[in-house]
């Protein structure tokens, strides 16, 4: 096409609320909103379902030492999917990375549902992870191109609401399907939802097609270098995770050291300048996102394990904790949409991280002998905290994105998002695996996991001071340094 369609152009027009372009549900963007919500609902249901059934999957397949890899392998593969999708979105448009993401996600569901052992299940989750990494990166680029800045906080709130139905029905549905059929069916029943989500979303993504300039030789070289850096990142983080399965401490320390060097070197090239030192403004927003997802998902993946194996509670209690968290996440996200123009990203993230600190302390109290119902209360507080803090970071980064670079901007924040999840779940899994080798009770292992999540959340409170007070509208306005 020679130019951006009128529909896409109109989305960038209007006043504070989108002006003449209307709201999220107007005809010009309704299909995009519905399609993205359906896609996020699919991913949300998968996340809630797998986390709920994993204690029983572990009993069937064995391999407690690989328990964390079911989550961290997914997250590790998503790092590659995020960057590849970001490049494709800028070079080839939105349809190609979205279709590829859904295809790989579906392949992972099939492998997971038919897995005869824990290693095969991990392989299926890796496929899912690569696909799931491409999906949100494409969605963020679509929001940057199809939703005006004033409507983006509401759009992210709507997307968080997509977790409500999976949060309410996901754990119960997963347990019901498992008891009626098997845990394998929990993976396989999601496949029809992939078809529905794709059919709804693809037309909306095609409507956002814009002229794609011929890729120059320099751009192709840059893309290849970027993919090479992604490879180093995956190897680096994978080395750290591999160390978690070893008993020889010299080998563990060597792998961790090599992994940290490779990961840090690659991130220097993959993230905006200054991100690793939390430079004030957008670089800090990109890095704080990783701290946020680390603190939340480090605990989230192990709440059902702590309840069921750690305290001997019923599986539905662990599922109820995940449900409460999803509902509270949506509530926090809608609240931030109302407050972001008044309070700004810095304040919202500091309050959000403080909520995660409180939630981690409550989980510690539960696993050390407190009432099992405390897990539900604690993780509702944690969900509310990440709901407040998550979307303001996205709005900050996309607000500073230049036209034609939405894919790269969305990939940067999604990259730290996925990295935080991978490291959080991976290090949590390492603690559980070490505890299993040493004969610890699961309650002891998860105590250390929740303590780690709380410590990182405290660091997030401090790091959030580097965020801008107001949402940037251009790259030049991205740095709102503390004290400004």
Of 7-21, 246-260, 334-348, 424-438, which one has max mean pLDDT? Answer: 334-348
**Least confidently predicted of 6-10, 206-210, 246-250, 302-306:** 6-10
Question: Residue 367 pLDDT > 90, yes or no?
Answer: yes
The Cα–Cα gap between 36 and 266 comes to 30
**Least confidently predicted of 207-221, 242-256, 332-346, 356-370:** 207-221
More confident residue, 19 or 99: 99
Q: What 8-state DSSP symbol labels residue 63?
A: -
Judge contact between 60 and 183, C-beta under 8 A: yes
Question: What are the domain boundaries of the chain?
Answer: 6-13+22-207+271-477, 221-270
pLDDT of residue 482: 40
Cα distances from 366 to residues 252, 370, 444, in angstroms, run 31, 4, 12
Which alpha helices (H) appear in 181-216, and where do they start and end? Answer: 183-188, 191-207
Q: Which residues contact 237 (CB under 8 A, 6 or more apart)?
A: 76, 79, 259, 263, 419, 422, 423, 426
Question: Residue 484 pLDDT > 50, yes or no?
Answer: no
CA dihedral of residues 210, 213, 217, 221 (deg, nearest 10)? -20
Residue whose entry in the numeric block shows the structure tokens 């794609």 = 212
More confident residue, 320 or 353: 353
Question: Residue 352 pLDDT > 50, yes or no?
Answer: yes
**Least confidently predicted of 58-62, 347-351, 406-410:** 406-410
- pLDDT bin (cut points 50, 70, 90) of residue 476 is very low
| Per-residue pLDDT tens over the stretch 75-123 | 778 878 877 887 777 777 788 888 888 889 989 889 988 888 888 888 8
The Cα–Cα gap between 180 and 394 comes to 40
DSSP 372-383: TTHHHHHHHHHH
| Per-residue pLDDT tens over the stretch 221-265 | 666 777 778 778 878 877 877 776 666 778 878 888 888 888 888
Q: Which residues contact 250 (CB under 8 A, 6 or more apart)?
A: none
The Cα–Cα gap between 391 and 40 comes to 14
The Cα–Cα gap between 299 and 308 comes to 15
More confident residue, 61 or 214: 61
Q: What is the mean pLDDT of residues 404-416?
A: 70
Question: Residue 384 pLDDT > 80, yes or no?
Answer: yes
Question: Residue 473 pLDDT > 90, yes or no?
Answer: no
Sign of CA dihedral 215, 216, 220, 222: negative
What is the share, in percent, of the chain residues with pLDDT greater than 90?
Answer: 19
The Cα–Cα gap between 260 and 75 comes to 17
Question: Residue 172 pLDDT > 80, yes or no?
Answer: no
Judge contact between 375 and 401, C-beta under 8 A: no
Mean pLDDT rounded to a whole number for the chain: 79
Question: Residue 401 pLDDT > 90, yes or no?
Answer: no
pLDDT of residue 1: 32
pLDDT of residue 408: 64
Q: Which of 77, 67, 68, 133 is nearest to 427 (CA)?
A: 68
3-state secondary structure of 274: coil
- pLDDT bin (cut points 50, 70, 90) of residue 5 is very low
* CATH placement of domain 6-13+22-207+271-477: 1.20.1250.20
Of 247-256, 308-317, 384-393, which one has max mean pLDDT? Answer: 384-393
Q: What is the mean pLDDT of residues 452-464?
A: 96
Q: What is the mean pLDDT of residues 57-71?
A: 74
């Amino acid at each position: 096409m020679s130019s951006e369609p009128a529909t896409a152009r109109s989305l960038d027009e209007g006043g504070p609320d989108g002006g003449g372009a209307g709201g999220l549900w107007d005809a010009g963007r309704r299909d995009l909103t519905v399609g993205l919500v359906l896609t996020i609902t699919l991913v949300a249901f998968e996340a809630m379902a797998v986390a709920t059934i994993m204690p029983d999957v572990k009993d069937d397949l064995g391999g407690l030492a690989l328990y964390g890899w079911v989550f961290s392998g997914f997250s590790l593969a998503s790092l590659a999917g995020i960057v590849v999708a970001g490049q494709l979105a800028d070079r080839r448009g939105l349809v190609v990375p979205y279709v590829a993401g859904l295809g790989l996600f579906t392949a992972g569901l099939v492998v997971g549902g038919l897995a005869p052992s824990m290693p095969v299940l991990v392989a299926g989750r890796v496929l899912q992870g690569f696909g799931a990494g491409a999906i949100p990166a494409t969605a963020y680029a679509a929001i940057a191109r199809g939703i005006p800045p004033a409507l983006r906080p509401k759009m992210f709130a709507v997307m968080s609401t997509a977790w409500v139905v999976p949060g309410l029905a996901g754990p119960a549905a997963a347990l019901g399907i498992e008891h009626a059929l098997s845990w394998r069916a929990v993976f396989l029943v999601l496949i029809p939802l992939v078809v529905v989500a794709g059919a709804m979303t693809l037309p909306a993504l095609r409507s956002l097609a814009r002229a794609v300039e011929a890729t120059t030789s320099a751009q192709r070289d840059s893309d290849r270098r970027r993919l090479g850096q992604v490879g180093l990142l995956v190897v680096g983080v994978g080395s750290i995770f591999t160390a978690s399965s070893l008993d020889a401490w010299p080998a563990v320390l060597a792998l961790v050291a090599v992994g940290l060097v490779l990961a840090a070197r690659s991130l220097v090239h993959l993230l905006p300048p200054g991100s690793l030192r939390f430079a004030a403004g957008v670089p800090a927003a990109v890095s704080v996102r990783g701290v946020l997802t680390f603190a939340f998902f480090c605990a989230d993946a192990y709440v059902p394990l702590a309840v069921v194996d750690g305290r001997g509670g019923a599986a539905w209690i662990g599922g109820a904790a995940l449900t409460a968290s999803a509902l509270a996440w949506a509530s926090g996200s809608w609240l931030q949409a109302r407050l972001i123009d008044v309070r700004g990203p810095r304040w919202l993230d500091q309050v959000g991280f403080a909520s995660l600190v409180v939630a981690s302390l409550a989980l510690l109290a539960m696993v050390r002998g407190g009432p099992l119902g405390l897990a539900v209360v604690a993780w509702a507080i944690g969900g509310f905290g990440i709901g407040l803090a998550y979307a303001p970071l996205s709005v900050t980064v996309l607000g500073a994105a230049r036209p034609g670079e939405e894919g790269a901007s969305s990939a940067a924040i999604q990259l730290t998002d996925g990295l935080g999840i991978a490291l959080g779940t991976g290090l949590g899994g390492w603690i559980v695996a070490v505890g299993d080798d040493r004969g610890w009770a699961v309650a002891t292992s998860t105590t250390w996991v929740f303590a780690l999540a709380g410590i990182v959340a405290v660091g997030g409170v401090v790091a959030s001071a580097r965020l801008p007070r107001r949402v940037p509208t251009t790259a030049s306005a991205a740095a709102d340094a503390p004290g400004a």
